[in-house]
Amino acid sequence: MLNLHRCFRPREEEVASKVIDGEAIIINLANGVYYSMDKVGALVWERLQAGYTLDDVIRSVTAAYDVSPEHAESNVVELVEVLLQENLVVTSENGSSHSAEVIAEQEDKLPYELPKLNIYRDMGDLLALDPPVPGLADTPWKEPEDSST
Amino acid sequence: MNSSLISCIVPVFNGERYVREALESILAQTHRPLEIIVADDGSTDGTGAIVAGFGERVRYVKQSNKGPATARNFGLSLATGDFVAFLDADDLWHPEKLERQLARFQNRPELDYCVTHAQNFWVAEMAGEAKKYERHRISGSLPGYVTGTLMARRALFETVGLFDPALGHGDSTDWFLRASERGTVMELLSDVLLYRRLHPANRSRVRAANSRDEYLRLLKLSLDRKRHLNGSV
């Protein structure tokens, strides 16, 4: 079981993402696998990116969608476990708590849908030669690791 | 021996330093006949004069500076070969590139396009970086989904469309994504048939830092198109 007081932040050295028209598009630049999540999943991703604790991510979901806290917790935890397996997020020690005014209950809640990470492994080689690795000013590749791979 | 005409399109912008070597690597191809078209994207250096030195073997056309996608499209509009291939003016082909790729098309009539592995190499003044990355994956043979490895039936561009001039860095990625959505038949050769020169002015190096958002938008558009085709939206 994941610790609900922890944050799970996107692994920004190798993971690029953007929420476009309500859909989170995520690429693992190390292997070219890309992902999408819409609706609840996109909200979860945005909140993880913003540094919310898992607890606050779940509260954001129940505040916006018509879903019981127990149901949301079990679905969000399951989703974050998949994000960890796919190596898209890492556990971050420091959680910042977001108070009630940040996570305001919406009056007209949206119909809930199970959040799902769609995984696309079909174009894995597409970016192999030209990886758009984030945050590198001088070279478009990450620093070599100790072991050659 | 297959006598298909292959159009070789070389987009170039201020490429006086390396364009001669690029053209020589085309002329060194074991396959003939070739049609070589240099599409100059508004160079202000000595590119035109160097290309002129190749005489009638190379057709030289020039446009105002509009980017490599437009230059490739310009070259394509003039191409008359059954097949087309592209080489950036700072890169080099293996002498058997076209011959080996053409052989695949002969073996597989259903094949729409063929790409190959590529090998990066560093210019002498970047020896330090070459050393730094010598055991890194980018120094090895890599699958090259870039125009420099691409050989396609010319007719394929009528199905998949041209390169999108609105895209800065990702115009070739976008093309490969569109080709994939169309269910095209492709083959990736594991032979290294493109040598990609890394130098301080590399477009991809300059653009890499800014290209992330563009790739993410391309993937989003590709997913939207696929869902639309599948009727799920």
Rounded Cα–Cα distance for residues B58 and A5 (Å): 66
Looking at the structure of chain A, the number of domains it has is 1
- What pLDDT is recorded for position A97? 64
CATH topology of domain B6-229: Spore Coat Polysaccharide Biosynthesis Protein SpsA; Chain A (3.90.550)
Q: Using CB atoms and an 8 Å cut-off, which of residues 81-110 of chain B contact chain A?
A: none
Q: A119 in contact with B at a CB cutoff of 8 Å?
A: no
- What pLDDT is recorded for position A146? 46
Neighbours of A63 (CB within 10 A): 17
Flag residues of chain B having pLDDT under 70. Answer: 1, 203-210, 232-233
Cα→Cα distances A100→A43, A105, A114, A137, B218, Å: 17, 8, 24, 39, 37
- What pLDDT is recorded for position B211? 72
| Cβ contact A118:A43 at 8 Å | no
| Cβ contact B41:B65 at 8 Å | yes
A128 found inside a domain: no
Rounded Cα–Cα distance for residues A39 and A23 (Å): 7
**A149 contacts on B by Cβ (under 8 Å):** 137
pLDDT band at A105 (very low <50, low <70, confident <90, very high): confident
Q: B131 in contact with A at a CB cutoff of 8 Å?
A: no
- What pLDDT is recorded for position B203? 59
Extents of the domains making up chain B: 6-229
CA distance A37 to chain B (A): 11
Rounded Cα–Cα distance for residues B4 and B55 (Å): 23
Rounded Cα–Cα distance for residues B215 and B176 (Å): 12
- pLDDT over threshold 90, residue A126: no
pLDDT tens for residues A4-50?
889 999 998 888 899 999 999 999 887 889 999 999 999 999 999 99
Put simply, the answer to whether A144 touches B135 (Cβ < 8 Å) is: yes
Q: A135 in contact with B at a CB cutoff of 8 Å?
A: yes
Length of chain A (residues): 149
A93 found inside a domain: yes
Q: What's the distance, Cα to Cα, between the start and end of chain B in Å?
A: 49
Nearest CB partner across the interface for A130, out of B133, B204, B216:
B204
- What pLDDT is recorded for position B202? 73
pLDDT tens for residues A11-23?
988 888 999 999 9
Q: B185 in contact with A at a CB cutoff of 8 Å?
A: no
Among A96-110, A117-131, B194-208, top mean pLDDT goes to A117-131
Rounded Cα–Cα distance for residues B112 and B101 (Å): 11
Q: B141 in contact with A at a CB cutoff of 8 Å?
A: no
Indicate yes or no: pTM above 0.90: no
Q: Whole domain around residue A42: which residue ranges?
A: 7-120
A144 found inside a domain: no
- pLDDT over threshold 90, residue A75: yes
Nearest CB partner across the interface for A129, out of B143, B215, B216:
B143
A55 or B206, greater pLDDT: A55
**A37 contacts on B by Cβ (under 8 Å):** none
**A18 contacts on B by Cβ (under 8 Å):** 213, 216-217, 220
- pLDDT over threshold 90, residue A142: no
pLDDT band at A140 (very low <50, low <70, confident <90, very high): very low
Put simply, the answer to whether B212 touches A132 (Cβ < 8 Å) is: yes
Q: Work out the widest C-alpha separation in chain B, in whole angstroms.
A: 56
**A41 contacts on B by Cβ (under 8 Å):** none
